[in-house]
């Protein structure tokens, strides 16, 4: 485990802190405050003394359930704020600390008020949507009935005109047919409503089949989309008018309407009543719209009050829940008046832990103080590195791959240099490096303000690694100067190029015709290489070979650190059967390759290193020929190959045999 402290706390990053197993006996009345104080300093890692119990059998299960209920209310508030597009304010702690009991009451009041407001708003919104739908239906259906009545009136006038004309032989017969006994007339009923457009065809088909065609359906699409009162979602609908005969047909039609989600509304047949209903509905729509807006404004006001304190409540609740989770790891003594806890603490933190326990006793007005004592144990302690805001990011990088065992050499110390430098080898451009440097510098200058704000995920990651980014940018500027690249453009910063053209043939981006006219370029790559035909072969070869050297150097560093670990723990088996063969194997092959690269750079030889390394294994006794870089190279390669072959069984077999022997001796003694 690691912990970020102040700017420059006393620390030793080379090895983890010395740890001790401690036992703390805390009176029940001061247990909560004691755990809170210990959590603030973060220097005691408790052991779970109730591992055999389920979460519901532990002493503080009720308190955790209570915290869970408050967390549910906070999630409800967050969901409501998200729907209302209200942003949570950054963390702003009020002057007086809020107690968990007061928070529970406040959350309950806000939830009750918000639930009531939402319920009323939903009812009002549903009524408003129904009235809007009804007003649209009245308008469309009114047009339909008006056109139908006008068409019927015209037909009636034509019929009267025909009857009042000259009579013919057929006139008496037709007149008899048109005069029908009023007692035999069938009165038709009607239903109007709205149905979703995607269900309109199926709706019409089912109606026809259910009534066996004894109904008349007229439906048309509504131009604008309507919010459905039932679902509250926007939908495209058709209005319909159904004419039927008989109560049995009406019953079937009503059931089909309910099945298809068709909303039905009353429609007055009298024209004057229709106009009055339309005016009345329009007035109610305007009133309800204003009422709904007032209700939403009231809800937003409640949510804004919650948003201003949400982060403070959330942090308090998280802390409270963590306290009770920790208390559930303690065991009760026989009298059930004290809690017994065990945990690991750094040796240097003894006084701080005791001070936190003393403050808990004083703050809770307990008559009995807490007891702190150190236990002797053979258990392996956890690893703890005390870090600050600069080193914590580098330590997190190492911990992401694996945490060093207790008192082992910490790779995080070397990562402070190696990680940014290896990044810069890949990202060598001093123009881009300056941009990254300015970004990191801004994050560092504004770190106090940014630390108190809620940041986006990407910005938060950048802010957490601001010092890593700063060092990476400095190394990028350095390697960019070596590569002589400023946004991939070379500059003659440290002097003139060592080469010049002696004829026009070298002016078309080639190295042909270049002659050396001056001293070697003093620092980095000569700018003449950029833009030449040999740029890619030259720079790729340079960077690849440099990467090999740096990679093998880092691998050797890891092996050397294993030697210091073995020496510290007085483990001679690891020294002779792990460190030595690993060092021989690595440097017999890859260390030799690094040596060849350096010799080739120094001598300017055109030897093929791929050929040398491949035939070192395939034909170790053959003559090297033109690829020879130094006298006696073939003998050296034979010796190195033999050492590499010997080191493999040296690494694999002796150590497991020694460990097996030690295990058998321990088992025999026990």
CA distances from 479 to 386, 490, 647 (A): 32, 13, 37
Check: CB of residue 501 under 8 Å from CB of residue 507: yes
CA distances from 641 to 325, 553, 631, 634, 645 (A): 59, 20, 17, 11, 6
**What is the spatial distance between Cα 308 and Cα 87, in angstroms, rounded to a whole number?**
9
What's the pLDDT score for residue 10? Answer: 46
Point out which residues pair with 244 in neighbouring strands.
Answer: 189, 215
Q: What is the mean pLDDT of residues 80-92?
A: 83
Q: Using one digit for the tens of pLDDT, what is the confidence trace for 165-205?
A: 554 544 444 444 444 455 555 567 888 888 888 888 998 89
CA distances from 622 to 48, 618, 635, 645 (A): 66, 9, 11, 19
Q: Using one digit for the tens of pLDDT, what is the confidence trace for 439-480?
A: 999 999 999 988 878 788 889 999 999 999 999 999 999 999
Q: Name 87's Cβ contacts closer than 8 Å, sequence gap at least 6.
A: 81, 307
- Token pair of 203, please? 């709706």
Q: In the structure, what pLDDT confidence band is assigned to residue 157 with cuts at 50, 70 and 90?
A: confident
pLDDT cut 90: percent of the chain above it: 52
From the list 115, 123, 79, 90, the residue with the least C-alpha distance to 299 is 115
Helix axes 31-41, 271-327, angle to 10 degrees: 90
Q: Name 624's Cβ contacts closer than 8 Å, sequence gap at least 6.
A: 612, 615, 633, 634
Indicate whether 9 pLDDT > 50: no
Point out which residues pair with 3 in neighbouring strands.
Answer: 386
Q: What is the mean pLDDT of residues 275-300?
A: 87
Check: CB of residue 553 under 8 Å from CB of residue 414: no
Indicate whether 584 pLDDT > 90: yes
Burial of 391 (C-beta count, 10 Å sphere; 0-12/13-18/19+): buried
Min mean pLDDT across 51-55, 274-278, 595-599 is at: 274-278
From the list 425, 424, 401, the residue with the least C-alpha distance to 558 is 401
**What is the spatial distance between Cα 650 and Cα 580, in angstroms, rounded to a whole number?**
9
DSSP 8-state class, residue 409: B
pTM for this model (two decimals): 0.74
Question: Of 160 and 66, which is predicted with more confidence?
Answer: 66
From the list 281, 353, 425, 394, the residue with the least C-alpha distance to 42 is 353
- The three-class DSSP label of residue 590 is helix
CA distances from 516 to 251, 501, 619, 643 (A): 105, 9, 40, 45
DSSP 8-state class, residue 345: E
Residues comprising the chain, all counted: 670
- The three-class DSSP label of residue 480 is helix
What's the pLDDT score for residue 431? Answer: 95
What's the pLDDT score for residue 200? Answer: 87
What's the pLDDT score for residue 513? Answer: 60
Q: Using one digit for the tens of pLDDT, what is the confidence trace for 406-438?
A: 999 999 999 999 999 999 998 999 999 999 999
Q: Using one digit for the tens of pLDDT, what is the confidence trace for 591-628?
A: 999 999 999 989 988 899 999 999 999 999 898 888 99
Q: What is the mean pLDDT of residues 231-248?
A: 84
- Token pair of 187, please? 């009165």
- Token pair of 441, please? 């510098």
Indicate whether 381 pLDDT > 90: yes
Q: What is the CA radius of gyration of the chain?
A: 43
Strand locations in 139-285 (E): 189-196, 215-221, 226-227, 234-235, 237-244, 263-265
Min mean pLDDT across 154-168, 349-363, 560-574, 635-649 is at: 154-168
Output helix, strand, coil percentages for the chain, rounded to the nearest 5. 60, 10, 30
CA 648, 649, 653, 654 dihedral sign is negative
Q: What is the mean pLDDT of residues 64-79?
A: 95
């Amino acid at each position: 485990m690691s912990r970020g402290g102040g700017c420059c706390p006393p620390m030793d990053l080379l090895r983890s802190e010395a740890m001790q197993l401690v036992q703390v006996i805390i009176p029940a009345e001061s247990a909560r405050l004691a755990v809170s104080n210990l959590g603030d300093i973060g220097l005691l890692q408790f052991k779970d003394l109730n591992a055999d119990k389920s979460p519901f059998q532990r002493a503080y299960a009720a308190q955790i359930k209570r915290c869970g209920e408050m967390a549910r209310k906070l999630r409800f508030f967050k969901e409501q704020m998200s729907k209302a597009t209200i942003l949570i304010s950054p963390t702003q702690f009020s002057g007086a600390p809020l107690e968990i009991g007061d928070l529970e009451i406040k959350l309950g009041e806000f939830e009750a008020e918000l639930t009531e407001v939402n319920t009323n708003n939903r009812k009002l919104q549903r009524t408003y949507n129904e009235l809007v739908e009804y007003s649209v239906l009245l308008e469309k259906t009114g047009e339909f009935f008006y056109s139908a009545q006008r068409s019927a009136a015209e037909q009636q006038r034509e019929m009267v005109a025909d009857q009042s004309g000259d009579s013919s032989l057929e006139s008496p017969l037709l007149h008899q047919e048109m005069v029908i006994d009023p007692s035999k007339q069938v009165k038709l009923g009607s239903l109007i409503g709205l149905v979703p457009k995607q269900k309109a065809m199926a709706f019409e088909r089912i109606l026809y089949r259910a009534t066996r065609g004894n109904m008349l359906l007229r439906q048309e699409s509504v131009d604008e989309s309507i919010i459905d009162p039932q679902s509250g979602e926007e939908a495209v609908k058709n209005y319909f008018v159904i004419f039927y005969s008989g109560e049995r047909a009406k019953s079937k039609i009503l059931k089909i309407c309910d099945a298809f989600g068709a909303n039905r509304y009353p429609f007055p047949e009298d024209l004057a009543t229709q106009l009055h209903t339309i005016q009345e509905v329009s007035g109610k729509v305007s009133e309800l719209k204003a009422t709904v807006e007032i209700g939403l404004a009231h809800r937003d006001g409640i949510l804004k009050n919650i948003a201003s304190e949400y982060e403070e409540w959330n942090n308090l609740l998280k802390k409270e829940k963590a306290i009770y989770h920790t208390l559930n790891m303690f065991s009760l003594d026989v009298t059930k008046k004290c809690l017994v806890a065990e945990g690991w603490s750094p040796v240097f933190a003894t006084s701080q832990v005791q001070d936190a326990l003393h403050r808990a006793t004083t703050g809770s007005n307990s008559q009995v103080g807490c007891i702190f004592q150190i236990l002797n144990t053979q258990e392996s302690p956890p690893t703890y590195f005390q870090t600050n805001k600069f080193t914590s990011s580098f330590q997190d990088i190492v911990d992401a791959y694996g945490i060093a065992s207790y008192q082992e050499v910490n790779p995080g110390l070397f990562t402070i240099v190696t990680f940014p430098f290896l990044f810069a080898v890949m990202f060598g451009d001093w123009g881009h490096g300056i941009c990254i440097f300015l970004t990191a510098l801004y994050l560092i200058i504004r770190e106090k303000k940014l630390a108190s704000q809620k940041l986006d995920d990407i910005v938060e990651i950048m802010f957490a690694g601001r010092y890593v980014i700063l060092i990476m940018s400095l190394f990028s500027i350095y390697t960019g100067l070596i590569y002589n690249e400023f946004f991939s453009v070379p500059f003659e910063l440290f002097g003139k190029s060592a080469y010049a053209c002696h004829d026009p043939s070298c002016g078309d981006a080639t190295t042909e015709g270049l002659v050396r006219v001056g001293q070697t370029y003093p620092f980095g790559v000569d700018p003449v290489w950029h833009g030449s035909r040999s740029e890619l072969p030259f720079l790729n070869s340079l960077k690849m070979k440099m990467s090999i050297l740096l990679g093998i150097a880092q691998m050797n560093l890891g092996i050397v650190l294993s030697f210091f670990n073995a020496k510290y723990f007085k483990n001679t088996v690891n020294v002779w059967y792990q460190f030595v063969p690993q060092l021989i194997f690595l440097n017999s092959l890859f260390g030799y390759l690094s040596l060849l690269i350096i010799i080739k750079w120094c001598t300017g030889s055109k030897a093929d290193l791929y050929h040398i390394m491949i035939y070192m294994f395939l034909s170790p006794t053959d003559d090297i020929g033109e690829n020879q870089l130094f006298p006696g190279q073939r003998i050296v390669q034979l010796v190195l190959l033999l050492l590499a072959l010997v080191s493999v069984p040296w690494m694999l077999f002796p150590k497991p045999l020694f460990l097996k022997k030690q295990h058998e001796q321990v088992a025999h003694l026990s």
